[in-house]
């Protein structure tokens, strides 16, 4: 866990993911604990930090409550520990920036004692870089600010003074002048900064300016404080008067100009800062960072921007060379050519440069020895091009940019990888506003958002379109969107090779091997947003073992990215470019065959997963998969649920792909196979939309089985959306189709669904009748899982009619049969029914036991809506036992789920939490439950 106090409070987990803590009081507590890392912080101190001199009577309990919530947010109990009398942050599980500063400062003191000013200055610079602003910015606690802010502000000043002293001793006077002027301006009464500025100016040959600094500060001190300058400043004044200035040294400064209007990239800039700050942890090593990413993502812009930001940390100069690794000329710069140019920049005469690369590299490293130089190697093709350009001794930092990952540098040289992703939407907006003016972007906000989306948040693409708009101020942004509709990639042409999207992409594409290039082209047919290795193998028609190296090649060149293990993606511009290439280089029959294999992959893998998710679901009769199809392996319920969660957006997109490509059978089958998962996740609008598409597709092909299934699934989705009359109409259509097909099991499922609709309309007798019809049909077909669910439905409807003993008998019979068939989801619904019955029999402890059994099963099944409904009823039973606080906590969990699902029952649960007088009139059965779940 990383905690940052030196600026706005920030907490990140061990994967460097930001943990949002929105509660002001929880942020105060965490800051108070972090400032006293490894100490037990008394509760009384936390109370003082939160409320000052006037805490409420419940202060200690409130502190405890906030600590419990903090633990939940931190997702671990091992960071924030409870101790006698207070709380403790576990030093072994936390990395706090203030502790990092203390460690670096201690090491700097040891370096100073050993007369190692270079090491001292480097360590202090690393410590100072950890400040991101005023400590505790945004934390509203006078006590905390009084305890710590001034202390750490003073610590920053002291370390800066020590660092400047060390760097002055190293002769870096000229490079320090600008920084010291800023320090003097921001700390106008801190005499040491003024004295250091005087010495830096004088040694740089600017004695008159140095004397003016002394005279101005002396005037201010006398007029405002009535005192003379102190001993340090008077001593600096004497040195300026008596010393002879030394000539200033020259250093290379080859960085290109910083990009005007650079925005965003804060996480990447912080990562680069952190790498620089940690450079002293291994004093003998050279720090190398590889900044990689796709074409046009802004690697060079970020590298140059950050390099300008930290240039003062490298007083011996900044080197830059474009290695032309991916260049329109197709001729990368050779290492020998690059070394010679760098030696020339370092002042080595051409006649002193030896002939061989090994000798050139030796001289290059000798010249850099003992110097602090920033080296930017831009646009590298591979690790071999970079290795001869790395210095051999510490003090320098190397930043490499490349479209390739350069994994060899990471493996052999320990390079830090930094992958540059697409711009976040907020940063893309800022970039548009910088280029076009904020008013124009705000006035046409919708068009601006659409441009950002069409540009795939790729900085180069945004810059090209923005320059087009800036050059034509009378053309609306909406008109540019229309151009993107008419000629998508054609719009991204800035008139030069470096600003033509197709050309920029082509430099990466033409570097691919033949098989990899074919895979890239076919990937343009995939609907996205992600593709697995198995789906890619099916698309290209190759075994998985042959496809994985091709995916690895595409990943190394950042034509695709690997978001998670075995899952790949690329943005819409690259997808469009790949599709263009496929149209140009692949025959139509091959493209259709690839789509057939891809859709077969999704249908057959989804069928396997759906049968694991619900072992009693009616099976589909599928045609065998095409040759070359590779299926994803799911072997149990948990894997099946994870597969659906991961592939859900892809499967939805595959339905659209099937619709547009004429694969109607695949379409309705995918809609059917997604139905159970979408229902459990509470995605009923999406469920209804997919079933409508499936119904249309089944009608086009004349598939009566597909129509029957689609009618029934659509009816169930509309039931969940409270469109009861429409749902009943679709169920009636399903019954007609199942009747024509002689499918008694399908008819039984439909009667079970109809009982659920009628129950929601409070037509309990009719609902009971349909549940009994379902039970009869299941018994006639020997469908045991269906019988069990129908028995539960009959019992549920009896309890709604007040016949609780009869209901109890039916539900226990259902549960016995569900244990026999292994229907865990059915068991969950039946335990919920039993809990409801016991609740109405005033047997609340038994009800609680039943509800808890139901909850565990519903959670394992991933049925979010049913979890929320059962939680609500569990809270009701606790409330009946007088356990109000427990009930409120449980209702709070239920409310959170209902709100996430945008479910109407959220209002009913909110009423319970708000203690509305009529909440008790809202009987438990009025909250969503799953007694009528389809099979």
Per-residue pLDDT of 861-872, as tens digits, reads 888 888 999 999
Joined together, the tokens standing for residue 309 give 């930001």
Phi, psi of 786 (to 5 degrees): -65, -40
User: Do the beta carbons of residue 629 and residue 538 sit within 8 Å?
Assistant: yes
Which pLDDT score, from 0 to 100, does residue 749 have?
Answer: 94
Cβ contacts of 755 within 8 Å, gap of 6 or more:
767, 768, 769, 770, 771, 774, 793, 797, 932
- Asked whether the predicted pLDDT for residue 132 surpasses 50, the reply is yes
Residue pLDDT, tens place only, 624-662: 999 999 999 889 888 998 999 999 999 999 999 999 999
What is the average pLDDT score of the chain? 86
| Selection from 839, 836, 787 nearest residue 814 by Cα | 787
Alpha-carbon gap, residue 628 to 164, rounded angstroms: 67
Q: Where are the extended beta strands (E) located within 65-190? A: 80-83, 86-89, 95-96
CATH class (in words) of the domain with range 1-155: mainly alpha
Alpha-carbon gap, residue 882 to 875, rounded angstroms: 11
Which pLDDT score, from 0 to 100, does residue 583 have?
Answer: 87
Joined together, the tokens standing for residue 468 give 């087009």
The average pLDDT across 260-289 equals: 86
The better pLDDT of the pair 829, 207 is held by 829
The average pLDDT across 430-443 equals: 84
CA-to-CA separations, 910 to 22, 820, 864, 905, 919, in angstroms, rounded: 21, 39, 18, 9, 9
Alpha-carbon gap, residue 39 to 96, rounded angstroms: 13
The CATH number of the structural domain formed by 768-926 is 1.25.40.10
Alpha-carbon gap, residue 505 to 328, rounded angstroms: 11
Residue pLDDT, tens place only, 376-385: 999 898 899 9
Please tell me the total number of residues recorded for the chain in this structure. 935
- Asked whether the predicted pLDDT for residue 518 surpasses 50, the reply is yes
Which pLDDT score, from 0 to 100, does residue 258 have?
Answer: 86
- Asked whether the predicted pLDDT for residue 261 surpasses 90, the reply is no
In a 10 Å sphere around its CB, with 0-12 CB exposed, 13-18 middle and 19+ buried, how is residue 115 labelled?
Answer: exposed
Which pLDDT score, from 0 to 100, does residue 934 have?
Answer: 54
Which pLDDT score, from 0 to 100, does residue 931 have?
Answer: 44
The average pLDDT across 144-157 equals: 87
At residue 846 the predicted structure's pLDDT band, cuts being 50, 70 and 90, is very high
At residue 205 the predicted structure's pLDDT band, cuts being 50, 70 and 90, is confident
Give the rounded percent of residues in the chain with a pLDDT score beyond 90: 40
- Asked whether the predicted pLDDT for residue 246 surpasses 70, the reply is no
Alpha-carbon gap, residue 452 to 721, rounded angstroms: 34
Instruction: Give the residue carrying structure tokens 């600010």.
Output: 145
Cβ contacts of 281 within 8 Å, gap of 6 or more:
none
Alpha-carbon gap, residue 399 to 377, rounded angstroms: 6
Q: Tell me the CA end-to-end span of the chain in Å, nearest whole number.
A: 45
Residue pLDDT, tens place only, 295-313: 888 888 899 999 999 998 8
User: Do the beta carbons of residue 669 and residue 713 sit within 8 Å?
Assistant: no
Residue pLDDT, tens place only, 877-933: 999 999 989 999 999 999 998 888 888 788 889 988 888 544 444 444 555 554 444
Q: Dihedral (C-alpha) 211, 212, 216, 219: value to the nearest 10 degrees?
A: 60
At residue 499 the predicted structure's pLDDT band, cuts being 50, 70 and 90, is low
**DSSP of 336-348, one letter per residue?**
HHHHHHHHHHTT-
Which pLDDT score, from 0 to 100, does residue 347 have?
Answer: 80
Which pLDDT score, from 0 to 100, does residue 249 have?
Answer: 47
Joined together, the tokens standing for residue 924 give 């438990």
At residue 491 the predicted structure's pLDDT band, cuts being 50, 70 and 90, is low
CATH of 266-417, one of 3.40.50.150, 3.40.50.300, 3.30.70.20, 2.170.190.11: 3.40.50.300
At residue 441 the predicted structure's pLDDT band, cuts being 50, 70 and 90, is confident
- Strand-strand pairing, 397-402 and 287-293: parallel
Give the rounded percent of residues in the chain with a pLDDT score beyond 70: 95
The average pLDDT across 199-216 equals: 84
- Asked whether the predicted pLDDT for residue 619 surpasses 90, the reply is no
- Asked whether the predicted pLDDT for residue 244 surpasses 60, the reply is no
The average pLDDT across 428-449 equals: 84
Residue pLDDT, tens place only, 464-477: 877 778 777 877 88
The average pLDDT across 268-292 equals: 87
Cβ contacts of 446 within 8 Å, gap of 6 or more:
none
The average pLDDT across 330-345 equals: 86
Alpha-carbon gap, residue 341 to 339, rounded angstroms: 5
At residue 750 the predicted structure's pLDDT band, cuts being 50, 70 and 90, is very high
Phi, psi of 587 (to 5 degrees): -70, 155
* CATH fold for domain 171-249: 1.25.40
The average pLDDT across 26-46 equals: 89
Residue pLDDT, tens place only, 54-99: 888 888 888 888 888 888 888 776 788 888 888 888 877 788 888 9
| Selection from 524, 601, 583, 532 nearest residue 559 by Cα | 524
Listed by start position, the domains of the chain span 1-155, 171-249, 266-417, 425-502, 612-742, 768-926
Residue pLDDT, tens place only, 527-570: 888 999 999 999 999 999 999 999 999 988 878 888 778 889 88
Same fold, 1-155 and 768-926: no
Which pLDDT score, from 0 to 100, does residue 82 have?
Answer: 84
- Asked whether the predicted pLDDT for residue 428 surpasses 80, the reply is yes
The better pLDDT of the pair 785, 14 is held by 785
At residue 488 the predicted structure's pLDDT band, cuts being 50, 70 and 90, is low
Which pLDDT score, from 0 to 100, does residue 602 have?
Answer: 96
At residue 180 the predicted structure's pLDDT band, cuts being 50, 70 and 90, is confident
CA-to-CA separations, 737 to 43, 175, 454, 704, 745, in angstroms, rounded: 69, 85, 44, 7, 12
Which pLDDT score, from 0 to 100, does residue 758 have?
Answer: 94
Q: Helix, strand or coil for residue 283?
A: coil
869: enclosing H helix or E strand: helix 864-880
The CATH number of the structural domain formed by 612-742 is 1.25.40.10
In a 10 Å sphere around its CB, with 0-12 CB exposed, 13-18 middle and 19+ buried, how is residue 930 labelled?
Answer: buried
Cβ contacts of 320 within 8 Å, gap of 6 or more:
254, 255, 256, 304, 307, 375, 376, 378
User: Do the beta carbons of residue 601 and residue 541 sit within 8 Å?
Assistant: no
């Amino acid at each position: 866990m990383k905690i940052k106090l030196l600026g706005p409070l920030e907490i990140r987990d061990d994967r460097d993911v930001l943990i949002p803590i929105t509660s002001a009081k929880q942020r105060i507590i965490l800051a108070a604990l972090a400032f006293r890392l490894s100490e037990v912080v008394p509760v009384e101190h936390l109370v003082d930090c939160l409320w000052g001199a006037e805490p409420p009577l419940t202060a200690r309990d409130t502190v405890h409550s906030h600590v419990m919530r903090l633990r939940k947010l931190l997702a671990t109990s091992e960071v924030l520990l409870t101790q006698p009398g207070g709380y403790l942050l576990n030093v072994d599980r936390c990395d706090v920036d203030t502790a990092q500063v203390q460690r670096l400062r201690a090491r700097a003191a040891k370096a100073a004692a050993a007369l190692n000013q270079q090491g001292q200055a480097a360590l202090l610079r690393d410590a100072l870089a950890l400040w991101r602003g005023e400590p505790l910015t945004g934390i509203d606690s006078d006590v905390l600010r009084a305890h710590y802010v001034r202390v750490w502000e003073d610590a920053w000043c002291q370390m800066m003074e020590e660092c400047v002293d060390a760097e002055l001793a190293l002769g870096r006077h000229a490079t320090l002048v600008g920084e010291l002027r800023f320090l003097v301006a921001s700390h106008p009464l801190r005499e040491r900064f003024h004295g250091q500025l005087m010495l830096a100016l004088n040694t740089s040959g600017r004695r008159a300016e140095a004397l003016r600094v002394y005279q101005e500060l002396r005037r201010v001190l006398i007029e405002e404080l009535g005192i003379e300058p102190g001993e340090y400043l008077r001593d600096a004044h004497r040195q300026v008067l008596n010393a002879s200035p030394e000539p200033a040294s020259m250093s290379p400064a080859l960085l290109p100009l910083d990009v005007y209007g650079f925005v965003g990239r804060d996480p990447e800039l912080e990562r680069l800062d952190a790498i620089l700050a940690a450079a002293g942890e291994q004093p003998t090593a050279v720090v190398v960072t590889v900044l990689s990413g796709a074409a046009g993502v802004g690697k060079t812009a970020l590298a140059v921007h950050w390099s300008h930001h930290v240039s003062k940390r490298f007083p011996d100069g900044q080197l830059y060379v474009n290695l032309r690794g991916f260049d329109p000329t197709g001729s990368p710069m050779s290492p020998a050519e690059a070394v010679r140019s760098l030696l020339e920049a370092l002042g080595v005469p051409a006649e002193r440069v030896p002939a061989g690369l090994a000798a050139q590299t030796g001289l290059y490293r000798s010249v850099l020895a003992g110097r602090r130089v920033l080296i930017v190697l831009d646009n590298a093709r591979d690790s071999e091009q970079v290795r001869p350009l790395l210095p051999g001794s510490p003090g320098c930092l190397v930043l490499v940019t490349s479209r390739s990952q350069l994994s060899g540098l990471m493996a052999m040289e320990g390079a830090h990888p930094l992958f540059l992703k697409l711009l976040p939407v907020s940063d893309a907006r800022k970039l548009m506003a910088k280029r076009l003016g904020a008013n124009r972007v705000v006035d046409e906000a919708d068009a601006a958002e659409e441009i950002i989306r069409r540009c795939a948040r790729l900085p180069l693409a945004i810059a090209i379109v923005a320059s087009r708009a800036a050059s034509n101020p009378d053309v609306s942004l909406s008109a540019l969107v229309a151009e993107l509709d008419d000629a998508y990639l054609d719009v991204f042409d800035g008139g030069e090779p470096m600003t033509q999207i197709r050309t920029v992409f082509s430099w990466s594409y033409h570097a691919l091997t033949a098989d990899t290039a074919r895979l890239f082209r076919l990937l343009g047919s995939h609907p996205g947003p992600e593709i697995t290795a198995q789906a890619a193998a099916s698309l290209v028609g190759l075994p998985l073992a042959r496809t994985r190296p091709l995916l690895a090649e595409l990943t190394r060149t950042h034509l695709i990215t690997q978001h998670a293990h075995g899952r790949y993606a690329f943005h819409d511009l690259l997808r469009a470019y790949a599709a263009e290439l496929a149209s140009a280089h692949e025959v139509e029959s091959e493209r259709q065959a690839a789509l057939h294999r891809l859709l077969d992959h999704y249908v057959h893998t989804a069928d396997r997963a759906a049968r694991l998710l619900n072992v009693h679901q009616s099976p589909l009769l599928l045609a065998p998969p095409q040759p070359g199809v590779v299926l994803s392996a799911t072997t149990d319920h948990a894997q099946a649920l994870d597969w659906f969660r991961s592939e859900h957006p892809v499967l939805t997109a595959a339905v659209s792909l099937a619709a547009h490509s004429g694969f109607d059978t695949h379409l309705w089958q995918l809609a059917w196979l997604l139905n159970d998962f979408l229902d459990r996740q509470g995605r009923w609008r999406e469920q209804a939309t997919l079933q409508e598409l499936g119904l249309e597709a089944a009608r086009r092909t004349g598939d009566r089985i597909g129509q029957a299934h689609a009618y029934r699934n659509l009816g169930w989705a509309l039931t969940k959306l409270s469109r009861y009359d429409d749902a009943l109409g679709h169920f009636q259509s399903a019954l007609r189709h199942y009747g024509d097909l002689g499918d008694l099991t399908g008819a039984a499922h439909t009667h079970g669904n109809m009982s659920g609709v009628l129950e929601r309309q409070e037509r309990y007798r009719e609902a009971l009748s349909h549940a009994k019809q379902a039970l009869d049909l299941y018994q006639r077909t020997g469908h045991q899982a269906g019988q069990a669910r129908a028995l539960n439905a009959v019992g549920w409807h009896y309890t709604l009619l007040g016949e609780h003993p009869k209901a109890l008998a039916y539900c226990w019979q259902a549960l016995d049969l569900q244990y026999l068939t292994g229907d865990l989801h059915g068991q969950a619904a039946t335990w919920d029914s039993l809990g409801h019955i016991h609740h109405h029999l005033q047997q609340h402890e038994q009800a609680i036991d039943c509800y808890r059994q139901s909850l565990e099963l519903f959670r394992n099944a991933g049925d979010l809506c049913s979890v929320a409904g059962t939680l609500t009823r569990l809270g009701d039973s606790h409330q009946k036992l007088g356990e109000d606080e427990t009930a409120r906590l449980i209702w709070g969990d239920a409310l959170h789920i209902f709100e996430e699902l945008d479910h109407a029952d959220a209002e009913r649960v909110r009423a319970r939490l708000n203690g509305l007088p009529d909440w008790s009139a809202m009987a438990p059965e009025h909250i969503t439950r799953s007694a009528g779940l389809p099979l």
